[in-house]
Amino acid sequence: MFTGIVEELGHVESVEPRGEGARIRIQARTVMEDAREGDSIAVNGVCLTALDVCAGSFAADCSGETLRRSTLGSLGPGSPVNLERAATPATRLGGHIVQGHTDARGNFISATDHGGSWTVRIAYPPEMRHYLVFKGSVAVEGISLTVAGLTNDYFEIAVIPKTWQVTNLSALRPGDPVNLEADIIAKYVERMLERITAVNFDSAITS
């Protein structure tokens, strides 16, 4: 589990294709301070297992499914990536609960500079629509963000200078794909409502 508070902006060192998947090596410093083989590290919001850990980098194997569903398949040497270590029982939950399981890919539309802060606009696919609410939480590239504006096609987020500086949002260009993860609470509510609806429907038929 993660909180969506990015710890470090790392960079891709290499991408080695392996069948339908790939092994990605990432240069990092902060997340390597206590990293061990097998630890979970979120890369642009995707939970990966750290392998071949050394002082300044780690590798991670990505399956074909991960490359297709997320933006990791478009990474290349030099690509900036948002990094976060898995939460511990003592972690402050500064963001929201982020699992590192990408639900869909959106697209970066624009970033409007307001003199030190930014309004970022992200297009999202139809399957994400019912998970997004005004002032609700959403993870974009693994960053815990609050929906500040919402339409049927895109949402807006207000970005403070700190977030702009320590994440890859500033490197995005119009049309670039981004990883989106819905709030897990919204998914559980959806599932429970489906169950309640099904029970009520069955009761109506048998009564």
DSSP 89-134: TT----S--B-S---EEEEEEEEEE-SS-EEEEEE--GGGGGG--T
- pLDDT classification of 197: cutoffs 50, 70, 90: confident
Domains of the chain: 8-85 (2.40.30.20), 104-189 (2.40.30.20)
pLDDT confidence of residue 192: 87
pLDDT confidence of residue 204: 57
pLDDT in tens, 4-16: 999 999 999 999 9
pLDDT confidence of residue 94: 85
pLDDT in tens, 141-187: 999 999 999 999 999 999 999 999 999 999 999 999 999 999 988 88
Provide the β-strand partners of residue 182.
138
Reported pTM: 0.87
**Residue found by looking up tokens 């029970």 in the block:** 199
pLDDT in tens, 115-138: 989 999 999 999 999 999 999 999
Sheet holding 46-49, edge to edge: 46-49, 40-43, 80-85, 8-18, 21-27, 57-62, 51-54
Tokens of residue 115, six digits: 């003199």
pLDDT confidence of residue 137: 94
pLDDT in tens, 56-104: 999 999 999 999 999 999 999 999 999 999 998 878 788 898 999 999 9
- Mean pLDDT (the chain) is 92
pLDDT confidence of residue 195: 78
**Residue found by looking up tokens 């606009």 in the block:** 121
pLDDT in tens, 20-49: 999 999 999 999 999 999 999 999 999 999
pLDDT confidence of residue 190: 86
Asked if pLDDT for residue 140 goes beyond 60, the answer is yes
